[in-house]
Amino acid sequence: MDEVQTLMAVGLVLTLGLAGYVLLDADSTDGVADWDILDVCLADHGGGISHIHATISVTLDGNQIAIPTNIGIQDEGCPDGMRGVHTHDDSGRIHIETPGSMDAPVGAFFVVWGEEFDETHILNKVANEDNEVVMFVNGVLNDEYENYVMKDGDVIDIEYRARQ
């Protein structure tokens, strides 16, 4: 083998090794973002808890979808309490309760709900050449999607609609 072939072989081995590490890494999050709030499980509304609210609405092709009651309450991730982002009713009011100041991205709520949301997905809908996913925060178009950090009093409207 000449020097060029040797270098190419070494490069190939290193590339395959890195790809294998990334794909097989046991500590990977399997595509789920690593937001700290996903690890929060509170026993009650007790003292020292930061408690704010945002409201989320989801509209698919002009039809408003109810946000279910008790998302994040005594679920698989928190069987004896409530997650850091949760609902108590179907109004779309999201309770953000944490043991101190902590970011609550919109995407974290959808992870707790078990539904998909990003710039191309909302629930079972996928953006395509005819349809789009858009998000408004307090009436203003916002392109942060799942990464938008909710603030107290935010009104977040997510729509799957015909492209405009």
Number of domains in the chain: 2
Q: Indicate whether 23 and 104 sit together in one domain.
A: no
Average pLDDT score over the chain: 86
Condensed to tens digits (0 to 9), the pLDDT of residues 118-131 reads 999 999 999 999 99
Residue 88 buriedness (CB in 10 A; 0-12 / 13-18 / 19+): middle
State the maximum Cα–Cα separation within the chain, in Å, rounded to a whole number: 71
Match 């790809």 to its residue by tokens: 19
Condensed to tens digits (0 to 9), the pLDDT of residues 27-46 reads 444 555 789 999 999 987 67
Token digits of residue 156: 């977040």
Q: Give the span between the Cα atoms of 116 and 127, in whole angstroms.
A: 12
Q: Indicate whether 45 and 8 sit together in one domain.
A: no
Q: Give the span between the Cα atoms of 157 and 164, in whole angstroms.
A: 16
Q: What is the pLDDT of residue 101?
A: 86
Q: Give the span between the Cα atoms of 126 and 128, in whole angstroms.
A: 6
Condensed to tens digits (0 to 9), the pLDDT of residues 102-119 reads 999 999 999 999 999 999
Q: Indicate whether 54 and 92 sit together in one domain.
A: yes
Residue % of the chain over a pLDDT of 90? 71
Q: Indicate whether 5 and 44 sit together in one domain.
A: no
